[in-house]
Structure 1
Amino acid sequence: MSIFSYHLVELPRVVAIRGMFLKPIAKNTKGLIHAEYMMAMTLGSPILSPSRILIKQIAVFAQWENESALDEFLRGNKFGRRLAKGWQVRLEFLRQWGKYDAFKIPEQTAKVEDTSPVVAVTIARMKPLEVPRFIHWGRPVEKLVRDHPGTTLSLASYSFPHTVSTFSIWKTEKEMTDMVHGHSAIRKPKRHADAMKERARKNFHFEFTTLRFKPIAEFGTWRGQQNIVPKL
C-alpha cells in the first residue's frame, strides 16, 4: 500500500533556490509516485514581508509505492540523505476533497477516532489572474490555522511558477473538522468556511485538493522541536 511523507529541512540558500528549478527528486526515482519540492512560507504573514517566503527552509511532500521505497531513497540518494537530516512525518491516507492528478489516491483508507491526531495538506495550482482574490480570502484562513490552539505545527509553501500548499498537524480530528466548519471556540471562527464558499462560487485554481492523513511515524527535529505529532 502506498504511503505519503512530508519533510522539512533547512538547506544552504543557493542549494535551496537551485532545487526550485532543477527538481532534485527525479521523476524516475524507484518507488516514487510523485513529489513536490517547495519553499516554506509563514502562514498569515504579509505578502511582501521578508518572513513570507523562507528561502532556506524546504518542504517536500511525496507519495511512495511503499515505505521501503522511501527508506531506500533517504539512504541511497544524495538529496534523500539531505532530507534525512531534517524532520519528516509518514502518513496514511484518510480522505480527499477536490483533485490533483499527480497523486494516485488509494481506494483503501485508514480510520481514526475523533480524539486522534491528523495531518492536513492542501495543494493547488493557482490561476495567475486569481492571485489577488486568493490572497484576500486566503490570508484570514492562514491566520486562523496558524493561531488555532488545535495545531502543533502549521505552515504554507510555494513552488515556481504557481503551486501553493499548506500543511498542518492537529491534536485531534475533531478540532480540525470544527475549524473547517466554523465551529471552533475562537475569534472569527467562520473564516475557513467563508473562503470555501467563495472558492465554490468562483474557483481560484486550475487544480486543488485537500488531503487528510493519519500520521504513522515521525523522525528528526524541526526548529529545535521533536515529537511534534501528539500521541505518536
Structure 2
Amino acid sequence: MRRVKDNALSLTFLALFVLALGGQAVAGTFQYNDEQLASGGEPVSPLEYVTSSSFAVDVAENWQSEYLQFLLFIVLTVWLVQRGSPESKEPGQEGVESDREQLVGTYAKDDSPAWARAKGLRLWLFGNSLGLVMGAVFLGSWLAQSVAGLARFNSDRLADLRDPVSWGGYLASPEFWNRSLQNWQSELLAVLSMVVLSIYLRQRGSPESKPVGAPHAATGVQG
C-alpha cells in the first residue's frame, strides 16, 4: 500500500488514460458505424475499429500535440523566464546552470544517478534525456499520424472515385496541417494559460501553484 500511495499520482493518471482511451474506442466505433451505415457501408466490430487507420490517426494526432507541448515547455524554460510564475525560473537564472547547481561531475552526491558523475556524451545525454525522449515521442507520433492519416485520406479519396496521393503529397496537404495545427494551437494556449494565470491565481496545496499568500511577483516558488 505504501508503494501505491507513493505513486498515486502516476497510477491515477494511468487509470484515467486507459478509461479515456477505452471510451474513445467505444464512442468512435459507434460514430464510425453510423457513418458507414449512412453511406451504405458495413458496420465494423470494436476490434476492427481500434486497428483501423481512423482510430490510429485520431490517437496519434492527439499524442503528438501533447508531447510537442511538453517538449517546447521543457526546452524553452531553460532560457526564457516569466516573472511571477511558479512554472518559471527566477529572472537572471536563464541558461543551463553550473555543474555545482546541477550536482553533476565532481559535485554529484552519493545518491546522485550514476550518469551524473559521467563526462562527455553520457553526461550530455542524461542531462538532456527528458527533452530528447519527449522529442522522440513527438516525432514518432507525428510520423504515425502521417502514415495513418494517409491511409484514411486515400480511403476517402478512393470512395469518392479520386486518385490516391503519395505520402509526400499528404504531408503537403491542407488535411495533414489542419489536423496538426488545430491541436497545436490548443496545447500552446493551455501552456500560456498555465504560465500566466498562475501568476495571479492560486490552488492551495498544489505544487503547480504558489502559496496562497505569496506575492504576485514571486517567481519559481511552489505551494
Query: TM-score, normalized by length of structure 1?
Result: 0.18
Query: TM-score, normalized by length of structure 2?
Result: 0.18
Normalized per residue, which structure has more strand?
A: 1
